[in-house]
Amino acid sequence: MAVKEKEHMKIVIVGHVDHGKSTLIGRLFFDTGSLPEGKAEELKKTCEAMGRELEFGFLMDSLEEERDQAITIDTTQSFFKTDKRNYVIIDAPGHKEFIRNMVTGASLAEAAILIVDASEGVQEQTKRHAYILSLLGLKQVIVALNKMDLVQYKQEKFEAVKKEIHEFLDSIGVNPEFTIPISAKEGDNIAKKSENMPWYDGPTVLKSLDSFNMKKRQTGNALRFPVQDVYHIDGKRIIVGRIESGKMAVGEPLLLLPNNSETAVKSIEVFLKPGMKKAVAGHSIGITTADPLFVDRGNVFCSKQGQPSMSNELKANLFWMSKQPIKLNERLTLKCATQQVGCIVKEIKKRYNSSSLELLEENAEQLNETEVGEVVIRADKPVVFDDFNQIQETGRFVLERGLDTVAGGIITK
């Protein structure tokens, strides 16, 4: 089917182990006709030979196995398409041991499907994954209550689990736009409306996905242009970086933090595009300024209205991802946009289990892998930042220990 503009939306499917992730993925491929040539027939034959019904879980297992063994598989296999657009399913393993891969995968996604077994209800990884979605600021979320066939497609069961999951999601600030009763195995409410659940009048999974928007950067927010580098090209001093939020136009005033110096945009420099007058969030550009300023990587150009916070101290929710726990006052490196500064975590006010969100300890001394902490960070130099809920790009950071990233954090104020 011809898709006019082949945009690709990246989605991630998360949920507890065995709640039906691979079956759902298999079903999405099958129902949209996106399986590699010959795969569907092969699967049917295998299932028949085993005297079993067609199971999509097998399909994903076989693809997964191939992938793990790195046998060539068709490029189409991680894509499926609807009339509206193409989708890419990002690799995001569900097991707890793979949490770092799950976070890496989910951080690239524009939308998420959180899958919950309607017969088992909310489980450990359901909550942890939901929490990670909230940490990553993913707003476009579908909750799919799977295995409705096992609960005789009963509305009461759906409503009960829906209530349970919504209560949890509410508490962590995730507001799913759709909650859909499905059976991935039987194909209910995936591509086709289910005849087994006449009581459900909402959209199918595919319709819901199609209603989402491609992730757009916030051009309406205040300007944040973190300096990435400074180049000297043909006698010009070009300050390069990516506009993380807002927009910029030649002649408009700029405030440079943390120095607090003022200037204006003299020119916007993009190769082979002379005379550009404006640029918006997401664009990697270069600028020259009206005044000769001292500028270095990590400085942030802002608009004068809607200035960010600037402080040595910041409050954050920290998600710890290293086997070796973090200890108070340990030397770490904080990276926020292009800023990089030495820091310590000076207080762990509260320590939570990221799955149950159960409060484990107040005024803790350390955080363990996959735990979440409400922390106070003290940086060696002032950091320019925003509240994550205002501007995500400058409201989030990672911590490095030695050579590796060990934590992700969102700034609460």
Map residues 331-370 to x or -, x wherever contact with other proteins holds by CB under 8 A. ----x----x------------------------------
The least CB distance from residue 321 to other proteins, in Å, is: 6
Q: Which is nearer to other proteins, 122 or 341 (CB)?
A: 341
The least CB distance from residue 251 to other proteins, in Å, is: 21
User: By CB under 8 A, how many residues form the interface with other proteins?
Assistant: 64
CB of 17 closer than 8 Å to CB of 94: yes
Q: For residue 299, what are its two tokens?
A: 């400085």
Residues 38-77 that bind other proteins (CB under 8 A): 66-67, 69-77
Helix-, strand-, coil-residue percentages of the chain, each rounded to 5: 25, 35, 40
Query: Which residue of 119, 311, 353, 405 would you call a contact of other proteins, by CB under 8 A?
Result: 405
CB of 90 closer than 8 Å to CB of 110: no
Phi, psi of 360 (to 5 degrees): -90, -35
The least CB distance from residue 106 to other proteins, in Å, is: 9
d(CA 169, CA 175): 7
The least CB distance from residue 214 to other proteins, in Å, is: 7
Residues 366-395 that bind other proteins (CB under 8 A): 393
Query: Which residue of 274, 292, 294, 403 would you call a contact of other proteins, by CB under 8 A?
Result: 403
Residues 246-285 that bind other proteins (CB under 8 A): 269-272, 280, 282-284
Q: For residue 189, what are its two tokens?
A: 């409410």
Q: Which is nearer to other proteins, 103 or 161 (CB)?
A: 103
Q: Sheet harboring 79-81: ordered strands across?
A: 79-81, 86-89, 8-15, 111-117, 141-146, 178-181
Task: Of 127, 124, 25, 40, give the one whose Cα is nearest residue 78.
Answer: 25
The least CB distance from residue 189 to other proteins, in Å, is: 28
Map residues 215-244 to x or -, x wherever contact with other proteins holds by CB under 8 A. --x----------xx-x-xx---x-x-x--
- Sort 190 into a burial class: Cβ within 10 Å, 0-12 / 13-18 / 19+: buried
Is it true that the peptide bond before 198 is cis, omega within 30 degrees of 0?
no
Residue by residue, DSSP assigns 290-317 as SS-----TT-EEE-SSS--EEEEEEEEE
Residue by residue, DSSP assigns 147-203 as -GGGGTT-HHHHHHHHHHHHHHHHHTT---SEEEE-BTTTTBTTTB--SS-TT--S-
Map residues 122-161 to x or -, x wherever contact with other proteins holds by CB under 8 A. --------------x-------------------------
Binding range to other proteins, per CB under 8 A, among 304-312, 347-355, 374-382, 403-411:
403-411
CB of 100 closer than 8 Å to CB of 321: yes
Binding site for other proteins (CB under 8 A): 2-3, 5-8, 36-37, 66-67, 69-79, 88, 91, 100-101, 103-104, 107-108, 136, 214, 217, 228-229, 231, 233-234, 238, 240, 242, 269-272, 280, 282-284, 286, 297, 321, 335, 340, 393, 396-398, 400, 402-406, 408
